[in-house]
Structure 1
Amino acid sequence: MHDLRRQALESGKTVSRKARSRNASVASSKANSTLNSPAHSRANSRNPSRHGSDDEEGFLSDGTAWSDDIELPSDAWKSELHVRIEQIVDRKRSSTEGRADSLNGFAHILMAKYAKDDIEKRMNELLPSILKSIKAETSERETVTALKALSVTIITLDSEDIYDSVADLLKRTISDSESTQTKISAIHALGVATFFGGASEEETEDIMAFLFEIIESDGLSVDAHDEGTVVIAALEEWGLLATEIEDLEDATEASIEAFVDQLQSSDAGVQIAAGENIALLYEKSYTPLEEDEEVSEEDLDPEDEDDPRTENKMVKRYTVYRRQDQLLHALDELANISTRKISKKDRKTLHSSFADIRNSVEKPTRGPKYSTALDQETGRTYGGGRMKVKINRNVEVRIDKWWKLQRLNALRRVLQGGFVHQYDENEAVSRCLPFSVSGKR
């Protein structure tokens, strides 16, 4: 058994970081001013309380506001962005710390404001400079901020050809960097580049295989053995990319054993990320019944019957895991874990997460936060859709599927408090997560 599952990790424990300051502002009177930015970015940290409350409207359960988390004066951000771009591309007159500050300020603006028109015309200069900061690894801070800037730039541009420009460098950085934080940031950037940057399905599957090697080897394949945070990042980005693959049967057979194995990790973050991927695999094993298709009754989802909320009957296409009874037992243990060897906060997170995961393994058409409580008026279960993010008065995103949760978490890692604004303005963001009209079931 791997060391990661034999002993507690000294550096593997991951907790939520403080929410971004609401009072971030731009000192527009000085050309070299530094944006007030969060003390630490959550883009590369595990947030173990990722599941929202029943009536979530713009907030997640850790108190993070999706709106107003990043505030920039409307009359200053464009000029400040121009200054940051000039600082980034003019490397000859910059220092390592200066470049890190400029990259951080640049990324912060792109999170808060949709600025595709402002950066697109400068990409011939911007991208090479950002990639040089990644490749040179002059300092960990410059490299990590460059990776953060690259990720938010990719989502802003919504380009079909940026993947080819960055993928090889990101893979080398993950494999060769001596910095754990750089590896983590590069893994997340690689996931974003693959998902949003124009990778083909074959290229996506290649990156998933690369990430899977990290997971299966507990980080050893990229010289990060038993680094729980590296394994978490790989699990998260594998899950994101898996949402894009229409038929996951082959990938399921190859990966499910490793994910089940990671449930025995001593790191709660690893356990949850593996569990969410397991739930996603079960969810993807069911697809809608096609017109004129005939299937046996045992392959139909019994919850579809006589439920007007179900537009399409769902059909089981393949078996995800042949030892499901053992898996359900392991999930039960995690959903009810009581040992004092882990913190009270981690126990609470494990209970909440694995109650949902177990529910989906047993009933794969049930998504996260599925309610089995009965509506007294209809006599039916309330079902999914209790987790939601309010975008505006009329639009909300309901996170009633595991694929939606994977994408939401990926967008949150990159955009942080700017998610709501980006959802309104950036098609790359809104097309990832279909919205629903408020007040309608």
Structure 2
Amino acid sequence: MTVSHSTLATIPNRYAFIDKIASCGERHTQLSLMLIDVVRFSDVTTSFGIEVGDQFLLEIANRLQRLFHHNIEFGRISGDVFGVVLPGIHSPVVLQQQFEYLAEHFKTPMYYDGHAFIADFNVGVVSKSQGAFDLTLFVSRAEAALKQAKENKYENFSLMSMHDKAETGRSLALKADLQRALARNELELYYQPKVDLSTLTIVGAECLLRWNHPTDGLLFPGPLIEAAESYHMMNELGYWTLESAIRGLVGFEAHGLDITLSVNISPTQLYDTKLVPTLKRLTHRYGVNMKQLELELTEDIAVSNSLMVKKQLAELRQLGIQVAVDDFGKGYSNLAYIRDLELNTLKIDKTFVMELTDNPVNKAIIEAARIIGQAKECEVIAEGVETIEQLHLLREIGIRYGQGYLFSKAIPHQSFISLAQQDIIVGDSPYRQMKAV
């Protein structure tokens, strides 16, 4: 019979749970360890307080135990990460099904003290089938799988066997390479167009960081940002990105392009007192209009109650710099802070757009974002537009702007100029042909 806990204190903690893993490893030749991370749970405790957060965690723990077979071992690895040991044979297909079953089950909201919460998860799994049991390696593989699940673009699940090569060595190499990359100009900004959905003309671009690594080739931001965080170099990397974006604006203006550039800004920079003076210095040095620059904040930072963040954002807006909230709706939105925050743009998270035709709720969420944007007199941009059908539906809803692979992936500076100039220069590219849609 599954134990139901009345308090988090009775759930085995990390040390007790690792003892249980060790015991299972000795008794079973085949077993799997599943680490289950509650996505963005800090939003709940920030918004509702620790007591409410603990009650939700307790319900999650009890529901998790009821979902799995009675002979599992269950524990709490850290604040919002739970562990499940599954003895016996578990093929990749079965483990994937377990994850899907878990995700589907938790689509039902939980309620406590007038608050509602829908849990989403990152899940990393390691499986052992034969051979000697190495507890340290087994647990570290599971943690590596969980880390990979968090980095996956479309699915928050990752499975690793004991034979898979961990990323640790490569990550360490990337950390060591970062300083060289900054010194040797290996970093590059790519630009993804923002498009007016009615006219299909390019009105702006989002800057996305790429790393031209001498041995690994073109790298996406994940490993790069991880390396910067490990070296405490996020500010250095962030200011490199801002200066490169401003230089990019100068290049676009030289080719007759009047567009707005969006740059993702890290929480570290928002807490840096040098941010505003640095932006003043850069825009003066390059002679660009600050209104052409937009800073994109993640939703959790935008809705935080930090006085420092509010002060920085107010000063940035006084300079004419625009402010956008990225991935709107992805986390647990605190609409009260969105209501009070002065911003220019709401960017609808791509998951709602990419699944627009699959569930009517996605359409309702996008419609709600449009209404919020209209009330706040700010633009609303749909991310992740990939099909003509999505384009038509977004037009029907009344979303004016979008970006996504239907128009273009992120491309280098000169390629972006060529694409944007197709509004002026007669051409026969797929983008030009699509304007007949």
TM exceeding 0.5: no
If you compute each CA radius of gyration, which structure gives the higher value, 1 or 2?
Answer: 2
For the aligned pair, the TM-score class normalised by the smaller chain equals: under 0.3
Greater per-residue strand proportion: 2
Q: Which has the higher contact order (CA 8 A, sep 6+)?
A: 1
TM-score (norm 2): 0.27
TM-score (norm 1): 0.27
